[in-house]
Structure 1
Amino acid sequence: MSTAVSDKAAVSAAPVMDAPKQRGYWGTVGYRLRHDPVTLFFGVLLITIILSAAFAPWLAPLDPYRESIVRRLKPIGYMGYLLGTDELGRDMLSRLLYGGRITLTMGMLPVVIATLLGGGLGVIAGFAGGIINTAIMRTMDVFYAFPSVLLAVAISGAMGGGVGNGMIALTLVFIPPLCRVAETATTQVRNLDFVDAARATGAPTHMVLRHHVLGNVLGPILIYASSLISVSIILASGLSFLGLGVKPPEPDWGLMLNSLRQAIYVSPLVAAMPGIAIFLTSVSLNMVSDGLRSAMDVRS
């Protein structure tokens, strides 16, 4: 008897292990992202690029528009020019910082607008079904039939180029694919049991749509939209490279690539810097988007 009592006392005196912490959905997503070193690295790199562009007026060492013919195409580190000079003697570091503001704006803003418009149309089409779905999706198929690059060039060329027209062209390019993704996700959720149960209780249509449908389709829409930002940046740079986007002397990575292509044999590293900036930004966006997709996949 004394042995049994002592065993019970020992068990009661032993430290009790805490139960595993229960995380919600977004808590699990955050936990996965914090323990994904690749996503964290490229996320920090992406944030650095965005902050550098946002604070370009304070970070740029020189005026990005100031020309100096006697200092054109100077190498890295020449007389205080940390990244050299371009074909007109302008400071490359300053122009890269200021160019990031225009390039990132032209890359992100069209995707945000297209997500609101295309995602909204897709949710309406998927939830309503019938003739509404047919009318919206067949209209999207007309735009979806053209390759995105050709469609962006055609729309921007027809509208006359420029930053505003370029962003309108990119917005029109991204509305159809976002609409299709939203329509597919909404159609799948619309037929689930909890949506039918909400309807059976007499809940209004807008309440069912807001509380039971949108919460389940926003994830796929946002993940897909995040993957389009890198494509948008490349297309925006391509429009500027072709003369259909930003006009000189405004700094833009695509326009800088075009103006420096004649200097590739004279100063190859300086001429490649805008392309390197586009490459690093696009890779960072793709890696962050992939990490976010993996973290939000509840099946994993």
Structure 2
Amino acid sequence: MSVTTTPAPVLAPPLAAPRSRGYWGTVGYRLRHDPVTLFFGALLLMIILSALFAPWLSPFDPYKESIIRRLKVPGYMGHLLGTDELGRDMLSRLLHGGRITLMMGFVPVLVATLVGGGLGILAGLAGGRVNALIMRVMDVFYAFPSVLLAVAISGAMGGGVFNALLALSLVFIPPLCRVAETATTQVRNLDFVDAARATGAKLHLVLWHHVLGNVLGPILVYASGMISVGILLGSGLSFLGLGVKPPEPDWGLMLNTLRQAIYVNPLLAALPGIAIFLTSVSINMVSDGLRSAMDVRL
């Protein structure tokens, strides 16, 4: 008599627990699955790279003038976008002008983020008289519109690239300081910060380990949106003669010098404006996508 044995059931391997992406992993995942942000990010990257490699991409010397080739149509004798009022190649001028215009947007925002963000974090974390002193000084700048303040500072110091960058940096420091102070004040009252202080942690350790990581997001998102404002204000200063001086190429200055040619060749007069528009829109769309990706409530 044989005894039949039933085979033991084969247990399936346990399912692996889903791996947590973490905060920055989630931000990257959201950005990778946002087609609008990816499209405008690629467009912005192309604009930045074309400005950086302008000396190698320019088909002509952007400073070489030719009176007999003034205001020629696109395609004339190898000039893909035509020539300006002094016979200079428009494509070369636009590529080189992008370097100064982008610098007007990025450099003041970077300086204002470091200075204004640092002052705002210090004011929000210290509180009391330190907060009152820093924020009352910033309120003085809030009494003037940003455009008027930039024009006044640049006009008082005289034109030039350095003075325009300094004027824009001073204009951007107060709003970034306010954003940093508000975010830091909200984080300062949370339980984990109070617990760190109760254990005797020093101020710089609380700032580095508990505060900085929670306030960098709002500061960076706001700063990224200010880049387009810097480009517009910098172009406006150059248009008014308070920024870049001729013969340096700059999109705002090119708008000023080509405005007389709008009745002769309107496309040439519109090209610098189109470049400013595309760059500003791309930066704003990337900033909106970054804000949505970094919003923990989503």
**d(CA) in 1 for partners of 2:7, 2:170:** 77
| Candidates 166, 169, 175, aligned match of 1:168 | 166
1:211 aligns with 2:189: no
The equivalent residue for 1:158 is: 156
Letter in 1 for 2:259: R
1:125 aligns with 2:123: yes
1:46 aligns with 2:20: no
**d(CA) in 1 for partners of 2:221, 2:170:** 19
User: Shift in Å at residue 144 of structure 1?
Assistant: 1.1
User: Shift in Å at residue 204 of structure 1?
Assistant: 1.0
**1:272-283 equivalence runs, <5 A:** 272-283=270-281
User: Shift in Å at residue 8 of structure 1?
Assistant: 4.3
**d(CA) in 2 for partners of 1:74, 1:130:** 64
Letter in 2 for 1:266: V
Letter in 2 for 1:157: G
The equivalent residue for 1:255 is: 253
User: Shift in Å at residue 20 of structure 1?
Assistant: 3.2
Does the C-alpha gap of structure 1 residues 69 and 203 become closer, same or farther in structure 2, counting only changes over 3 Å? same
**d(CA) in 1 for partners of 2:281, 2:27:** 21
The equivalent residue for 1:291 is: 289
User: Shift in Å at residue 290 of structure 1?
Assistant: 0.3
Letter in 1 for 2:181: E
Residue 125 of structure 2: SS of its match in structure 1?
helix
Letter in 2 for 1:236: G
Does the C-alpha gap of structure 1 residues 85 and 6 become closer, same or farther in structure 2, counting only changes over 3 Å? farther
**d(CA) in 2 for partners of 1:8, 1:166:** 78
- The total of aligned residue pairs comes to 293
Letter in 2 for 1:283: V
**d(CA) in 1 for partners of 2:59, 2:269:** 20
**d(CA) in 2 for partners of 1:7, 1:26:** 46
1:178 aligns with 2:214: no
**1:181-200 equivalence runs, <5 A:** 181-200=179-198
| Candidates 117, 133, 136, aligned match of 1:135 | 133
**d(CA) in 2 for partners of 1:7, 1:219:** 55
The equivalent residue for 1:144 is: 142
- What is the RMSD computed on CA atoms of the aligned residues? 1.3
The equivalent residue for 2:220 is: 222
**d(CA) in 2 for partners of 1:226, 1:6:** 65
List per-residue Cα deviations over 1:181-217 (Å, max 9, x = no partner). 0000000001100001111111111101111111111
Letter in 1 for 2:250: D
Residue 150 of structure 2: SS of its match in structure 1?
helix
Unaligned runs of 5+ in 1: none
**d(CA) in 2 for partners of 1:78, 1:193:** 69
Q: How does the TM-score come out when normalised to structure 2?
A: 0.96
User: Shift in Å at residue 21 of structure 1?
Assistant: 3.2
Letter in 1 for 2:284: N
Residue 247 of structure 1: SS of its match in structure 2?
coil
List per-residue Cα deviations over 1:4-35 (Å, max 9, x = no partner). x78944xx36x876543321111110000000
The equivalent residue for 2:83 is: 85
Unaligned runs of 5+ in 2: 1-5
User: Shift in Å at residue 107 of structure 1?
Assistant: 1.3
